[in-house]
A and B are shown apart, each in its own frame.
Chain A
Amino acid sequence: SEVNIALSGTEDIEKNGEYVFIKAFADHLNANGMETKVHPSDSLGKEKERFDQLSQGLIQVNLGNTGVLFKLAPVTKGLLLPFMFSDNANFDESINRGKIIEYVNEQVAPHGIRLAGFPMRGGGMGLFNSKHPVAKIADVADLRLRAKDGVQIKLFEAWGSEGTVVSWAEVSNALQTGVADGYFNPPASALLFGHTSVLNNFTPLNAGPSARVALLSQDWYEGLDDKTRAIVDEAVAKGIAANRVWAEKWIESAMTQLQEQGVAITELEPGQRELFAEASKKIWGEVINEKDLAILKNAAMN
């Protein structure tokens, strides 16, 4: 029977890192005689719905945000902590060292889920704003940044800035009307959602990669014979490898695209990243429990 693969984005091999993973993954399965069916564009439902279908074994592979794992495996709350990791390589290294995937799987397997890997969306977290270039932490003082939740509000306050919670659906409006002056997101967010017309300043912070999760149905994976399971494992490895190669190329082209669309890119002054990192660490304890934080810090050697 065919392997159903669901994702939120489109089947765009140029722009969508998740699809880059899926393409390499599915190609490997197909080459080994397995049939695949890709469901793009949230056609099977949004994050919670796709996750739910996976946990019941209705679909076999789902690419989701880390948020769907928060309750089952709280350590995942730490994966997007600002300045826990610097870039993709550092992230991969740390996850391996800390055996984080194995640790997560112990917790999620009873719920029918298996974490296979972390496809990246592209560039690292940085700061977009519509007012002025940001080269040092003091520059954010007069900005009101869009926060996705209460934790981000505290993060921005720790930087000496200010946050306002706006749901993603309302962000375009909020930026246009000045309800928010900017946001803390990877470059892909502004490029994909056309915010570059308003947000004309970007500062790369190298605050950590923008990781998504590739999840497998545990029922399905367990039910495979050893040989097929090995093929699936290889397919995951190929998918992740393709995603990382793409991510390197993509970040370069993203910077070019940003500039072409009139976004000024400002690098931080020396020593300023450390100040951002130091301030950000103050909120880590609010996001994640002590035990899991210790595990991640050890893994990241932070």
Chain B
Amino acid sequence: MSAMIPLVFLVVATLCGTAIAYLVGGSAVIGFIISDNSNFLAALPQRVFSQLDVFAFLAMPLFILVGELMNRGGIADALIRFSLTILGRFKGGLGHVNILTSVFFAGVSGSATADAAALGNTLVPVMEKQGYHRNYAVAITAASSIIGPIIPPSIVLIFYGALMNTSVIALFAAGIVPGLLLAVMLMGINAFFAHKDNHPGGRDAEIPDFLPAFTHALPALSLPVIILSGILFGIMTPAEAAAMAAVVAALVGFLYRELKLVDVIAAARRTVILTGAIFVILVAIATFGYLSALEQIPQRLVASIAELGLGQTGYLLVVNLVLLVAGMLMDVKAAVALLAPLLVPPALLLGVDPTHMGILVGFNLTVGLLTPPFGAVLLILSTVTNVNYWVIVRAVVPFLIAELIFLGFLIFVPDISLALPRALGYLS
């Protein structure tokens, strides 16, 4: 009964227009008090510090800065003109680009939230300038940000493999087909909306001449080259690529004579504000996470599932639900570490393949990042792109439903993930 108090406060504070960070943080503190854990509030200052002092986050502010500089320095425009020469004939071309970028991008940095912040601040403005509706651009960025962690390399799968004693190579091989299928499915949806809502591009579109557009874009093209090749070929970590890209973006902006010192300062200021707004939300969610860890809520949930005595399908469906919620509330890596050792062994006893289970766990937890009300990717995109949170939620729903249906297929047709590793001889 007393567990209702933080929930009631959450709802009331939401209706009173409290910012997300403070309503989540405030309800968490109420939770500490009524669960008789108020002495643990003493851990909060360190939690704030440690929650921000995270290597994987380094790329986030830097990519936001890159986006700010690109938009102000004429780089975004140059890249759009150039991409139009190639993709202009296709309806929804930039939507496809957005999806493909995520195929390369997200898994490498290991944090779908960082990727959402990066693409939200670079690709979304580009799409908007080309004539896409901002809400749609945000939705497709959100939906595709979760592809990366399934297609190798994937830090989530490495983590799972290490914990569950499952071959990481087999897991990687198992992630390829589902990840690509997901990308294809999203491109299909993108093509559908492109025709339905008459997105930019198509046969009648005005196509700029290739050569002048290309020459003009040459300096600007160094940016995607630095970012993608730097990360993919291991020359630089994502954070390093972002820092170099920021330096180059400023230089190219000066070269185009569109960037002035005041613009650089404005870009830095916006980066600082966005980073602060995102970080304080992450800190507040982490406060809730700490309470749920103290009370061992995930472990208790798992124990009550065990009591249900479900068959394979029933168990998988319930587990997937738990993972969806966990992915919404917890850091994905933390959720794997805490939940996989508890949820996976019973599934294996029921005859689920451990490699297949790894893909399900990884996919589920990342889809959780898109699940309202606290899906981190949604919150971050709302902060970065200035689009109302519920508008984003509404825009993402068609994609989210498609992804959940896809997840259902994945549950019932293990061959989608297992065929490739079997063919390659990684599984018996």
Is there any pair of Cβ atoms, one from A and one from B, under 8 angstroms apart in the complex?
Answer: yes
- Once bound together, how far apart are the Cα atoms of A67 and B184, in whole Å? 47
Q: How far is the CB of A122 from chain B (nearest CB, A)?
A: 14
Taking CB atoms, residues of chain A closer than 8 Å to B338 are 40-41, 43
- Once bound together, how far apart are the Cα atoms of A176 and B169, in whole Å? 12
* In the complex, B428 has a CB within 8 A of chain A: no
- Once bound together, how far apart are the Cα atoms of A58 and B55, in whole Å? 27
**Nearest neighbor of B233 in chain A, beta-carbon distance:** A177
Taking CB atoms, residues of chain A closer than 8 Å to B108 are 173
Partner of A58, one of B39, B49, B234: B39
Q: Hey, what's the 0/1 contact readout for B37-70 against A, CB within 8 Å counting as 1?
A: 0011011001101100001100000000000000
Cross-chain contact B55 with A167 (CB below 8 angstroms): yes
Which stretch, A48-56, A139-147, A200-208, A240-248, touches the partner chain B?
A: A48-56
Cross-chain contact A172 with B237 (CB below 8 angstroms): no
Partner of B341, one of A10, A37, A174, A178: A10
Give residues 5-47 of B contacting A (CB, 8 Å).
Answer: 39-40, 42-43, 46-47
Taking CB atoms, residues of chain B closer than 8 Å to A49 are 43, 46-47, 50
| Secondary structure dominating the interface of B | helix
Which stretch, B131-139, B272-280, B290-298, touches the partner chain A?
A: B290-298
Q: How far is the CB of B175 from chain A (nearest CB, A)?
A: 14
Residue total for A at the interface (Cβ-Cβ under 8 A)? 33
Partner of B162, one of A37, A43, A192: A192
Taking CB atoms, residues of chain A closer than 8 Å to B55 are 167, 169-170
Cross-chain contact A170 with B237 (CB below 8 angstroms): yes
- Once bound together, how far apart are the Cα atoms of A37 and B294, in whole Å? 10
- Once bound together, how far apart are the Cα atoms of A41 and B160, in whole Å? 13
Q: Hey, what's the 0/1 contact readout for A5-31 against B, CB within 8 Å counting as 1?
A: 000001110010000000000000000
Residue total for B at the interface (Cβ-Cβ under 8 A)? 34
- Once bound together, how far apart are the Cα atoms of A300 and B47, in whole Å? 38
- Once bound together, how far apart are the Cα atoms of A172 and B153, in whole Å? 9
* In the complex, A110 has a CB within 8 A of chain B: no
Known contacts A169-B55, A173-B108: does B341 contact A11 (CB below 8 Å)? Answer: yes
- Once bound together, how far apart are the Cα atoms of A192 and B294, in whole Å? 26
Known interface pairs A39-B293, A172-B153, A194-B158; 7 further A-B residue pairs with C-beta atoms within 8 A, sorted by A's residue number: A12-B341, A40-B341, A45-B46, A52-B43, A56-B42, A173-B153, A173-B237
Could you give 10 example pairs across A and B, Cβ below 8 Å?
A39-B296, A44-B293, A45-B290, A58-B39, A169-B55, A176-B153, A176-B234, A178-B234, A194-B167, A194-B168
- Chain B residues engaging chain A, CB cutoff 8 angstroms: 39-40, 42-43, 46-47, 49-50, 55-56, 108, 110, 153, 155, 158, 161-163, 165, 167-169, 233-235, 237, 290, 293-294, 296, 334, 337-338, 341
- Chain A residues engaging chain B, CB cutoff 8 angstroms: 10-12, 15, 37, 39-46, 48-49, 52-53, 56, 58, 167, 169-170, 172-174, 176-179, 192-194, 197
For the complex of A and B, the 8 pairs showing the least CB-CB separation, nearest first, are: A177-B234, A194-B168, A41-B337, A43-B293, A52-B46, A49-B50, A41-B338, A10-B341
